[in-house]
Amino acid sequence: MKIAQLMSPGVLSRSEMYQRIRQQGVLMSNQQDIAQRIIDLQSDADIEKQKIEQCQSVIMGCEKRHRNIARYLQCVQRNQLQRADTNTENDIEERVSYGDKNG
C-alpha cells in the first residue's frame, strides 16, 4: 500500500517505478561526475593561470635584461666609434706634423 502511495500518477507498475529510480540514480551519478570534472577543470585553470603569471614575470625580467644589455652595447659601440675617430684624428695630425713617412 505504501509503494502505491509513493507512485507518481501515470506510473503503471512497480517495476517501472524501480526502473525510473535506477535511471534517476544513474543521472545523479553522472551529474556528480560532471560536477567533479568541473571542479577539476577549475583547479587546472587556476594552475595554468599561475603558470602564465610566472612566465609573464620571467618575460618581463628577460625584457629588462635585454634593455640593459642593449643600452650597454650601445655605449660600448659609441665608445669604440669615438676611439676610432680619435685615432683617425691623431693619425691625421701626426702625418700633418711629421709628414707621411710612407709617402
Q: Output DSSP code: residue 99.
A: -
Give the pLDDT score at 11: 55
In a domain, 102, yes or no: no
Other Cβ atoms less than 10 A from the Cβ of 69: the count is 10
In a domain, 5, yes or no: no
Q: Provide the CA 83 distance to its chain's centre, in angstroms.
A: 45
Total domains in the chain come to 1
- Residue numbers of the domain that contains 54: 11-96
Give the pLDDT score at 7: 60
In a domain, 27, yes or no: yes
Cell, residue 34: 560532471
Give the pLDDT score at 22: 93
Distance between CA 7 and CA 3 in Å, rounded?
6
In a domain, 6, yes or no: no
Do the Cβ atoms of 3 and 17 come closer than 8 Å? yes
In a domain, 49, yes or no: yes
Residue ranges for the chain with pLDDT beneath 70: 1-12, 100-103
In a domain, 73, yes or no: yes
Give the pLDDT score at 13: 78
